[in-house]
Structure 1
Amino acid sequence: MADLDARTVLYIEDDAAYILLVRRALQRSKLGKLPNLRVFTTSEEAIRYLSGQPPYQDRLAHPLPSLLLTDLRLPGKSGLYLVNWVKKQAEFEQMPIVMLTGSALDEDIESAYELGVNFCLVKPAEVEMLVSIIHALSVYWIPPPTKATI
């Protein structure tokens, strides 16, 4: 498995207003360790990043994420296409994927889970609901405290 950077979260969203809402919710979360949020607007660009294609080949500058957060509906290839691609890559088999969607359609949610999404959530419109989701997801970029050996 590839080395995943515990602090990097890949976020794929084409709605600039929602990206701003997520950034605001991260700030309001008051978490001690905020993720290094890498934002892309298309599945194709996210795949280039994950594949290490230029200009993303330098893994120190462009580390692999510990969490993939994606919208369902994206321009070009959908979020489901991205999830399907990620799940076919052996090096990403352990990477958790959370899908945020404006759609509450059962078939969309079923398709997401069938492809291997860990969580599928309907996008909240309020910052405070998003803060709650961020607190729950922070387990992916904030490592648990280690126990001191006696």
Structure 2
Amino acid sequence: MEDVDSKTVLYVEDDPPYVLLLKRALQRSKLEKLPKLWVVTTMEDAVRYLLGQIPYEDRFTNPLPSLLLRDLRLPRKSGIQLVQSVQAQLQFQHLPIVILTGTALDEDIVLAYQQGVNFCLVKPADVDSLISIILVLSVYSIPSPTKATI
């Protein structure tokens, strides 16, 4: 049975090594309860997941996310188009959206914020920097880290 206190993060990323890096950072983050991480590689799959369309129609197995984490550059369609699709759905207008991008032009970042993105961050290349981002985001939408022991 799924832990009802567990949060779900929908991660839209087409770079498998970076998905692995994020998973590694989550494991090392010392969060009390790790979020359930769902990874899709395209905007179309992200929209299908959010709307509960095939193959994501079972909400017990594929719960609604508490955070949408995504790359700015996606195959076929941009990450900005994904934000626009999500924001167009009334039930997702308050879904926190965070962009992790390897390369972002200033105008892309401005447009992302204009479209309703909560944070736009440059992808760190190392696990420790990514852990720092995860811990900051945990305050925002995923379970908080455990207390440090002395």
1:70: which partner in 2?
A: 70
Q: What is the root-mean-square deviation of aligned Cα atoms in Å? A: 1.5
**3-state DSSP class of the match of 1:65?**
coil
Confirm or deny: 8 A CA contact 1:6 1:65 kept in the other structure.
Answer: no
CA shift for structure 1 position 104: 3.4
Aligned residue identity for 1:102: G
Per residue, is there more strand in 1 or in 2?
1
Confirm or deny: 8 A CA contact 1:6 1:66 kept in the other structure.
Answer: no
- 2: CA distance between counterparts of 1:9 and 1:54? 19
Which string of whole-angstrom CA distances, capped at 9 and with x for unpartnered residues, describes residues 40-96 of structure 1?
Answer: 010100101111111111111111000000000010111111111001110011110
| Aligned pairs for 1:1-150 within 5 A | 7-139=7-139, 140-142=141-143
- 2: CA distance between counterparts of 1:39 and 1:119? 19
**3-state DSSP class of the match of 1:64?**
coil
Q: How many aligned positions are there?
A: 140
CA shift for structure 1 position 6: 5.7
Q: Cα distance 1:6–1:28, how it changes in 2: closer, same or farther (>3 A)?
A: closer
- Gaps of at least 5 residues in structure 2 are 145-150
1:147: which partner in 2?
A: none
1:148: which partner in 2?
A: none
- TM-score normalised by structure 2 residue count: 0.89
Confirm or deny: 8 A CA contact 2:97 2:119 kept in the other structure.
Answer: yes
- 2: CA distance between counterparts of 1:65 and 1:7? 7
- Gaps of at least 5 residues in structure 1 are 144-150
Confirm or deny: 8 A CA contact 2:6 2:36 kept in the other structure.
Answer: no
Where in structure 1 do 4 or more consecutive aligned residues deviate above 4 Å?
none
2:147: which partner in 1?
A: none
Aligned residue identity for 1:118: N
Which string of whole-angstrom CA distances, capped at 9 and with x for unpartnered residues, describes residues 111-150 of structure 1?
Answer: 100100000001110110000000011121217xxxxxxx
- 2: CA distance between counterparts of 1:50 and 1:15? 21
Q: Cα distance 1:15–1:22, how it changes in 2: closer, same or farther (>3 A)?
A: same
**3-state DSSP class of the match of 1:54?**
coil
